[in-house]
Amino acid sequence: MIPRYALPEMESIFADESRFGRWVEIELLATEAHSVLGTVPAVDAAACRAAAPQVDAKFIEDVLQREQVTDHDVAAFVDVMQSRIGGSASSWIHYGLTSSDIVDTAWCWMLRDAADLLIDASTKLLRVVTNLAKAHRDTVMIGRTHGVHAEPTTFGAKVALWALQIDRDRSRLQAARDNIAVCKLSGAVGTYSNIDPRVEQSVATALGLRAVPATQVISRDRHAEYMWACAAVGNTCEMIAVELRHLQRTEVREVEEGFKVGQKGSSAMPHKRNPISAETITGLSRVLRGNLQAAMQDVALWHERDISHSSVERIVLPDSSMLAHYVLHRLRRLLEGLQVSPERMKQNLYSSHGLVFSQPVLLALVQSGLSRDEAYRIVQEAAAASWAHSTDFRKTLEADSRLVRVDKKVLDEAFDLKRSLVHIDRVFIALDAIKN
């Protein structure tokens, strides 16, 4: 991942120091578990812990250099770790284990911790969105379908629906976290032929993971589920970002991204205030979806394992974790500084001359005794004339001789904005039910 889109707390989880540090800890915990069972002398397990190497730049460099000889990263790591511990006790490192026992357990440990950061970031974003929704509960605006004026809604109701989806994303992240927080130390094909299952359970307990049956590798449907949760986060953030981009267009101008002192919107045009955060989020969501496709293809491996998944995961698991975390943070920052224009929303609502009340007018005419088709044609013709000549929709209707017998009160109710929003509380009841 390029540094531009990586926040320190997430990046540190996948750094070489962290990864090798986890490998060291898993090896030590396994050796200590063997000693409890009597397989490894307790004095040797204690010696391994006491002389355990510090994972620093020199350790990492030594592993990479050793890998030039072994052409195997875990074998190189084990060689260097044993060399640093020294003595006969070091021979017990990696006893009964295969590479995937270390690598897969470490991956799941890292992804568990990454998921915790994502859940926390989702919760923080949810709070911001919830507050924004409640602040604009009654901020009336036009609802659009196909990009065209439809019927009135409120900005708060729109944002409340975002919050409900963010909460669903949080639930997906929690489920993915639960399914990825697992451990596997069962040997070459997962049969425990050279290691007692109690070693696996001991390591799992120490790391706060759950021991699960496996082949040589943990099933990659777990990783794919985690990647789907990351991609879903991207989808939601993109959905919100695309809406904000539309609402910021010059012709609409209902919201604007915050613009700090000294910021420049364009290197050429000083007047520009572009939706850069929303557009960045949109772009990064594409990468998250692309990475998901790669993760889905990693599920099918040959027999008890191959390494076709390994090279993919080294890229997509850290990158998607960091990107999902980044877009959650970037969207929260965008919404915290969002400038909302209730007056512009109201202007846009009425800019179509009252056409947004066409459906309640249609229903009112049906209630007045007209057939639905006849009522539809009358309203449609009046709407077309009103739009073509920029005239008031209601006045156009009232001038139609076919409606002379329609009670004025019927039209009053049809054109009443409060009528359109009478049930807006429904979405806020659902919003209040969310547990932050």
Indicate the Cα dihedral angle 147, 151, 154, 158, nearest 10°: -50
* Residue range 98-256+269-351 in CATH 1.10.40.60: no
Query: Does residue 267 register a pLDDT over 80?
Result: no
How much is the pLDDT for 272? 82
**14 compared with 403, residue with greater pLDDT:** 14
DSSP assignment string, 98-166: -HHHHHHHHHHHHHHHHHHHHHHHHHHHHHHHHHHHHHTTT-EEEEEETTEEEEEEEHHHHHHHHHHHH
247 contact partners, CB below 8 Å, separation of at least 6:
253, 254, 255
Query: Does residue 192 register a pLDDT over 90?
Result: yes
Q: Which residues are catalytic?
A: 146, 266
Residue in this structure with the two tokens 């009053």, named with its chain if needed = 412
SS3 41: coil
pLDDT tens by residue, 48-78 = 999 999 999 999 999 999 999 999 999 999 9
Closest residue by Cα to residue 115 from 230, 217, 12: 230
CA distance 57 to 256: 45
CATH code for residues 1-95? 1.10.275.10
pLDDT tens by residue, 378-388 = 999 999 999 99
The pTM is what? 0.95
- Average pLDDT score over the chain: 96
Question: At CA 249, angle to CA 391 and CA 425, rounded to 5?
Answer: 75
How much is the pLDDT for 265? 81
- Residue 401 DSSP code: G
Q: Residues 220-230: what's their mean pLDDT?
A: 98
Query: Does residue 203 register a pLDDT over 90?
Result: yes
CA distance 256 to 314: 38
pLDDT bucket at 273, cuts 50 / 70 / 90: confident
How much is the pLDDT for 261? 80
Q: Find out whether 199 and 185 touch, Cβ atoms under 8 Å.
A: yes
Phi, psi angle pair for 152, to nearest 5°: -65, 150
SS3 210: strand
Query: Does residue 408 register a pLDDT over 90?
Result: no
262 contact partners, CB below 8 Å, separation of at least 6:
none
CA distance 194 to 197: 10
- The percent of the chain in helix, strand and coil, each rounded to the nearest 5, is 65, 5, 30
